[in-house]
Amino acid sequence: MWSGPSPGNRGTAATVIEVAALASEIPGSDLVEAGLRDLAAGLSTVPALIVSIGAPRLRQLGFEVVAPIEDADHALYLMLAADDLDRADAAHGRYNALVRRLVSFERAVACAGSR
């Protein structure tokens, strides 16, 4: 998953190791880890779509994102809407919550990398 230093850190081995270890403890890491695994396996899942949405930033942070899914934001919304046919507003709320989790994870990793 982790392939190198984030742009904000000095790139020392200790810093990279510290941030990689911390990334697994940051809330949202389970979602990102699952998404990276699913993308590598060629699966289109909620975690894979979230990681695809965040692929540019995750790559900047040093994560190896393999073959992100095109138009992932739209595909994610459609997948969530299909799960909640009874409630029209549920997909919107779930979509926003997942994106907030991704952004929170990215920010936390960026902060950890700049220490």
User: Which residue is listed with tokens 């396996």?
Assistant: 41
At 79 the pLDDT is 94
Listed residue (23, 22, 76) closest to 48, CA to CA? 76
Question: Is there a domain that residue 55 lies in?
Answer: yes
Question: Is there a domain that residue 17 lies in?
Answer: yes
Question: Is there a domain that residue 31 lies in?
Answer: yes
Residue 24's pLDDT band (boundaries 50, 70, 90)? confident
Domain span holding position 69: 13-113
At 36 the pLDDT is 93
Question: Is there a domain that residue 33 lies in?
Answer: yes
The number of folded domains in the chain is 1
The stretch 96-110 carries a mean pLDDT of 95
Question: Is there a domain that residue 8 lies in?
Answer: no
Question: Is there a domain that residue 30 lies in?
Answer: yes
Question: Is there a domain that residue 90 lies in?
Answer: yes
Question: Residues of 75-102 as b/e, b for ≥16 C-beta within 10 angstroms?
Answer: bbeebbbeeeeeeeeebeebbeebeebb
* 107: Cβ contacts below 8 Å, ≥ 6 apart: none
Question: Is there a domain that residue 7 lies in?
Answer: no
Q: Which pTM value belongs to this model?
A: 0.80
Q: Read off the pLDDT of residues 33-92 as tens digits, 9 standing for 90 and up.
A: 999 999 999 999 999 999 999 999 999 998 999 999 999 999 999 999 998 777 767 899
